[in-house]
Amino acid sequence: MKVVVQRVSRASVAVDGHVVGAIGTGFLLLVGFARGDSIAEVMRAARKIALLRVFSDDSGKLNRNVVEAGGAILSISQFTLYGDVSDGNRPSFTKALAGSDAEPLFDAFNFELSKTYGIHVETGVFGAHMAVSLENDGPVTILATFEPKETD
């Protein structure tokens, strides 16, 4: 599982010219799933992102998480995060999880952020062609990777 975390002043997503999700201060998340990802990666990712301290406190230090900053999340599914361009000029998406398997994980991820961590979450439309607009704040952009943990 990969998540591009962008701290934003505002962000929105439109499908067919209609805004389907919008936030003010918070995170724009681009979320991709790989073969082998499971609910374990979803839970780790949600916790890490909910608690990620990249918002300034009163002293200007990055000490606040999205909840403490009064922010929200706009979460966008993004299978192209697993585009492999190591061979040729056309990306290969063979590492990306099939949409039918990725959508329940995406839904679980957003549910976890909302219900467990109390974050207001907006989303795009899974699998749709979307137009995403944002005002990156900082800029602060983090690529977070959550790989399946091997068991004994």
Q: Exactly one of 27, 33, 55, 78 is catalytic; name it.
A: 78
93 tagged catalytic? no
Which amino acid is located at 80 in the chain? T
Q: Helix 99-111 to helix 39-51 angle, to the nearest 10 degrees?
A: 40
Q: Which of 80, 94, 116, 145 is catalytic?
A: 80
Half-sphere CA count of 103, side-chain side, radius 13 A: 7
Residue whose structure tokens are 């990725």: 102
Give me the catalytic one of 27, 79, 106, 109. Answer: 79
Judge whether 6 counts as a catalytic residue.
Answer: no
CA distance 75 to 13: 9
Question: What tokens does 2 get?
Answer: 């990969």
Q: CA-CA distance, 3 to 52, in Å (whole number)? A: 13
- Measured between alpha carbons, how far is 125 from 118 in angstroms, rounded to an integer? 21
Q: List active site positions.
A: 78-80
